[in-house]
């Protein structure tokens, strides 16, 4: 009978039972007389470029599947980045690209044991979910007190089961970059059979001249893969376009693991057009970087400890006060991202939003030190 085969009722894989749900940034509270601002998802607050809106207005071909290889976008990226188009693999956001890497390189093995994926913690919230769903085991290495990766501890954590290491620069949610020098030393210190992912979702916001540029390293090390996205600087989060850049040793397997047709023709057109207007994109990014610098300087003037902020967000090490601070922000129609008993991440938004955030901080009595 069927009861010999399966118990009554559907059950998920144990890993699915135990994973936290991804907690997306919440919309801000509606408060009369106050414009609401969402500072909880590291989005670009500016509307799409007019040229992008024009490019996606043509939807006459959506009865057809998109080009599964996103050839136009990969060619445009190849020109833009100065890399071979074959080294670029697109996905539904850089999260889609990350899932390809994990699906191809880390999971459950024939012996029933899980591969290990090392990453810093706290880092991007989706990492534990993606790693767990791939069937692999997360090895989380605590950040240093200033929000930087502890690369020495990460290298020391490598075992024979380590298949992938995720580096996040600038690190979401704390903000610091990895330097070119420390990253290269790190890559040299881990076995060349371990895939090292450099997640550069916020790359266009970085102004620190010491910061790593993953593209320089991927050219030298066949086990390095760089992740980038159109969600942040290009402001196309809702269209879901991201990509990885790596050599053939890696991309040949990413193409096998990729969800077919992940990038729609509309998303592809938007991304190609945005790349074609990069001068406008970068002008807007500079405005956000200027705002970031204003916010960080304002907080430091108040005597707050703020780690180096190189993305489009700042990190407040508020510990046990995190939830309370987020609540106060909500009372001012600002949504921010609280990580219980750790800290609060606040995205750089519109000028008025940033000013209101600074005013909130000026009146707040438990500043991070």
The footprint of ligand PMP (CB under 6 A) covers 42, 93-95, 124, 168, 172, 199, 201, 229, 231, 237, 242
Q: Quick one: 201 or 250, whose CB is closer to ligand PMP?
A: 201
Q: Where are the beta strands (DSSP E) in the chain?
A: 37-38, 88-91, 116-121, 137-142, 162-168, 195-199, 224-229, 242-245, 313-316, 334-335, 337-339, 343-347
Q: Which residues touch 298 (CB under 8 Å, ≥6 apart)?
A: 358, 361
- DSSP letter string over 126-185? HHHHHHHHHT-EEEEEEPPTTS---HHHHHHT--TTEEEEEEESSPTTT-PPPBHHHHHH
User: Closest approach of Cβ 126 to ligand PMP, in Å?
Assistant: 7
CB nearer to ligand PMP: give 55 or 197: 197
**Minimum distance of ligand PMP from residue 125's CB (angstroms):** 8
Q: Name the token pair of 36.
A: 């609401």
Residue owning tokens 């599964």: 68
Nearer to ligand PMP, 23 or 31 (CB): 23
Q: Residue 162 or residue 229: which is nearer to ligand PMP going by CB?
A: 229
| CA dihedral of residues 50, 283, 354, 212 (deg, nearest 10) | 120
The residue (of 87 and 199) whose beta carbon lies closer to ligand PMP is: 199
Nearer to ligand PMP, 93 or 175 (CB): 93
Nearest residue to ligand PMP, using CB?
A: 93
Q: Smallest distance, Å, CB 190 to ligand PMP?
A: 20
Select 124 or 357, whichever has its Cβ closest to ligand PMP. Answer: 124
Min separation Cβ 240 and ligand PMP, Å: 7
Which residue pairs, CB below 8 angstroms and at least 24 apart, start in 280-286?
A: 280/49, 280/51, 281/49, 281/204, 281/233, 281/234, 281/235, 282/204, 282/233, 284/44, 284/46, 284/235, 285/204, 285/205, 285/233
Q: How far is the CB of 311 from ligand PMP (least distance, A)?
A: 8
In angstroms, give the least distance from the CB of 78 to ligand PMP. 19
The count of C-alpha atoms lying within 13 angstroms of the C-alpha of 32, restricted to the half-sphere facing its C-beta, is 0
Compute the least distance from the CB of residue 170 to ligand PMP, in Å. Answer: 8
| Distance spanning both ends of the chain, measured CA to CA | 65
Min. distance of Cβ 178 from ligand PMP in angstroms? 12
Closer residue to ligand PMP, CB minimum distance, 254 or 367:
254
Q: How far, in Å, CA of 190 to CA of 116, rounded?
A: 14
Whether the CB-CB separation of 147 and 168 falls below 8 Å is answered with no
């Amino acid at each position: 009978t069927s009861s010999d085969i399966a118990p009554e009722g559907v059950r998920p894989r144990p890993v699915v039972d135990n994973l936290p749900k991804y907690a997306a940034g919440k919309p801000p509270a509606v408060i009369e007389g106050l414009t609401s601002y969402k500072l909880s998802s590291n989005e670009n607050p500016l509307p799409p470029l007019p040229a992008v809106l024009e490019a996606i207005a043509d939807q006459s071909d959506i009865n057809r599947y998109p080009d599964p290889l996103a050839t136009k976008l990969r060619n445009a990226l190849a020109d833009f980045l100065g890399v071979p188009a074959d080294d670029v693999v697109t996905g539904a956001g850089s999260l889609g690209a990350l899932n390809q890497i994990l699906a191809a390189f880390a999971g459950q093995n024939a012996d029933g044991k899980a591969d290990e994926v090392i990453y810093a913690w706290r880092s991007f919230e989706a990492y534990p979910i993606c790693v767990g769903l791939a069937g692999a085991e997360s090895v989380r290495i605590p950040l240093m007190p200033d929000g930087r990766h502890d690369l020495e501890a990460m290298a020391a954590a490598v075992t024979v089961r380590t298949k992938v290491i995720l580096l996040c620069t600038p690190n979401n949610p704390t903000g610091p970059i990895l330097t070119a020098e420390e990253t290269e030393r790190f890559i040299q210190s881990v076995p060349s059979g371990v895939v090292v992912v450099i997640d550069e979702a916020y790359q266009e916001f970085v102004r620190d001249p010491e910061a790593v540029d993953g593209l320089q390293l991927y050219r030298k090390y066949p086990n390095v893969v760089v992740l980038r996205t159109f969600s942040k600087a290009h402001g196309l989060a809702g269209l879901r376009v991201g990509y990885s850049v790596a050599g053939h040793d890696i991309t040949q397997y990413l193409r096998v693991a990729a969800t077919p047709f992940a990038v729609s023709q509309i998303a592809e057109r938007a991304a190609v057009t945005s790349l074609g207007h990069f001068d406008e994109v970068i002008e807007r990014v500079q405005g956000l970087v200027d705002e970031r610098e204003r916010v960080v300087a304002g907080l430091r003037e108040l005597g707050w400890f703020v780690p180096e902020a190189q993305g489009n967000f700042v990190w407040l090490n508020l510990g046990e006060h995190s939830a309370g601070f987020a609540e106060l922000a909500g009372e001012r129609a600002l949504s921010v991202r609280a990580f219980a008993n750790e800290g609060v991440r606040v995205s750089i938004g519109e000028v008025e939003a940033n000013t209101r955030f600074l005013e909130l901080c000026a009146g707040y009595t438990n500043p991070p030190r």
